[in-house]
Amino acid sequence: MSVNRKLVLGFVVFIGLATAIFFLPKSVVESNKKLDATSSETQSSSSPAKPEVTHKEDQGLIRTISELRKSVQEEKEGSKKAQLFEKLANAFLDNHQYDSAGSSFEQASKLTSNPKLVFQAGSAYFEGIAFAGTTSRVDYLSGKARELLENVPSTDGNYTEAQAKTAMTWVNSASPMKGILKLRELADKNPENEYVAYQLGMLSFQSGQHEKAVARYRKVIELNPKNVNAWFYLAQSLLQLGKKEEALKAVNSGLPLAKEDDTKASFEELKKQLTEN
């Protein structure tokens, strides 16, 4: 598995000006696992993009994607076609092809009136930003994510998260403060929203504001004590502040929540660092 779905190490990368930062929502990426860089741009409703295959990919999943692509092409009835596009999108997600997933969810959303599909499409494009290899690719995926997420209705349960992700795409733009201010506005309006608090924590952490990061991550943990990401970054933030005993306590609290091997390894490496020095 190339992407750690449990521990989101959310790097913020500086592009151009020091404030032009963006959030990478996935942590562990093997060097031989690449996103299909052209799938979203070439994909159409009748011809979903063919996934890139590497020697480590699940061949059963590749076959499933191929079969679903064929079914999509052959299906004529709208609602059934939408269901197939949704299945295809989820298969692409399982294969970590986020822009292809976004395109498929987007096609499904055009065939239905389900706002959930709009949110899923925008979120998939958002996830793809983490794997974009060029600035132009980042801009493209950010634009697609923003276009869709801004259309999630305010009555939908995913609205706040959609707005937060939209804000993060602005952070990764020529106008980063627009996104940062939007995220802070969301936090003021939704002080109990776990996702918003976590994103603000990431911004604080990556900008070196570790005291603020600690406060944000503690808030996330207050809202959801099982958020393994928050425990990890709380420990990292405390370590940056020189509070090793508190950092170790955070590691010991988060480690039992880690389910995947790479997640556990990340915690154990941090624990080793804290106990050896």
Taking only the tens place, the pLDDT of each residue in 45-92 is: 333 333 333 335 688 899 999 999 999 999 999 999 999 999 999 999
Q: Is pLDDT of 139 > 70?
A: yes
57 found inside a domain: yes
82 found inside a domain: yes
Q: Are strands 21-24 and 11-14 parallel, antiparallel or unpaired?
A: antiparallel
Q: Out of 2-11, 77-86, 185-194, 218-227, which region has the weakest mean confidence (pLDDT)?
A: 2-11
Alpha helix stretches (DSSP H) within the chain: 39-42, 59-74, 78-94, 98-110, 115-128, 135-149, 159-171, 176-189, 194-206, 210-223, 228-240, 244-254, 261-276
253 found inside a domain: no
| HSE-CB of 238 using CA atoms within 13 angstroms | 21
99 found inside a domain: yes
What token pair was written down for 236? 């990292």
Average pLDDT, the chain: 82
CATH number of the domain encompassing residue 66: 1.25.40
210 found inside a domain: no
- What pLDDT, on a 0 to 100 scale, did the predictor assign at position 175? 85
237 found inside a domain: no
pLDDT in tens, 192-221: 999 999 999 999 998 999 999 999 999 999
185 found inside a domain: no
Q: Indicate yes or no: pTM above 0.85.
A: no
Residue 12 pairs in a beta bridge with 23
272 found inside a domain: no
Contact 120, 165 (CB under 8 A): no
**CA–CA distances in Å: residue 11 to residues 21, 26, 38, 184, 250:** 9, 8, 24, 19, 20
- Domain span at residue 52? 33-151
Query: How many independent structural domains does the chain possess?
Result: 1
Q: Which amino acid appears at position 265 of this protein?
A: A
Contact 95, 114 (CB under 8 A): no
Band (pLDDT 50/70/90 cuts) for residue 174 is confident
